[in-house]
């Protein structure tokens, strides 16, 4: 055998054998279902797995299909604003997510509510458990000047 990039012979033992595969017996039309209300997990705020558990429609599994059909922006806005939106308080002085425990660096007088995906809130909390500070700065753009 020859290397594809250098076009030199490969100096190693290579085993060539038959690769078996099975055609998928299930069809895509059997997998499509949607339930408007259903059980959600308390930790991730996402729907539970399985059609038998009356799970809601979950688009994470169809992400590649949406990217292929160039409908990502429309579905992202719709799904983020419908399913995964979570209200948090962000301190504009220290750029941290507000929590009920007291904080040393500021007194939390300049907090405002913002809506972010719940999965992003979980990511920020996991990074803070690893001692990584994630500051969130909210920038308002009033005018856009293009030169």
Q: Which domain holds residue 23?
A: 1-83
Same domain, 100 and 52: no
Same domain, 90 and 78: no
Spell out the per-residue pLDDT of the chain, length 147, in tens.
Answer: 888 889 899 888 888 887 766 655 555 555 555 555 666 777 776 666 655 555 555 555 556 666 666 666 666 666 666 667 788 887 777 777 766 555 555 666 677 777 777 878 888 888 888 888 888 776 655 433 333
Give the CATH number of the domain where residue 92 resides.
Answer: 3.90.1800.10
Per-position DSSP letters for the chain, written without gaps between them: -B-TTT--B--S-------------S-GGGT----SS--B-TTT--BPS-TTTTPPP-GGGGHHHHHHTT-HHHHHHHHHHHTSEEEEEEETTT--B--SS--SS----SEEEEEEEHHHHHHHHHHHHTT----------------
Same domain, 1 and 43: yes
Same domain, 11 and 66: yes
Among residues 83, 99, 130, which one ends one of the domains? Answer: 83
Tell me, yes or no, if the pTM score tops 0.85. Answer: no
């Amino acid at each position: 055998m020859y290397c594809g990039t250098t076009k030199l012979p490969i100096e190693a033992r290579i085993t060539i054998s038959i690769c078996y595969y099975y055609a998928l017996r299930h069809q895509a039309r059997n997998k499509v279902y949607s339930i408007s209300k259903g059980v959600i997990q308390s930790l991730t705020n996402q729907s539970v797995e399985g059609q038998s558990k009356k799970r809601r429609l979950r688009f994470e599994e169809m992400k590649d299909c949406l990217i292929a059909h160039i409908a990502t922006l429309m579905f992202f806005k719709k799904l983020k604003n419908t399913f995964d939106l979570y209200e948090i308080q962000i301190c504009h002085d220290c750029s941290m997510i507000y929590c009920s425990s007291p904080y040393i660096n500021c007194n939390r007088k300049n907090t405002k509510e913002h809506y972010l995906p719940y999965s992003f809130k979980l990511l920020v909390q996991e990074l803070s458990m690893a001692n990584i500070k994630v500051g969130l700065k909210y920038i308002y753009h009033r005018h856009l000047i293009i030169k």
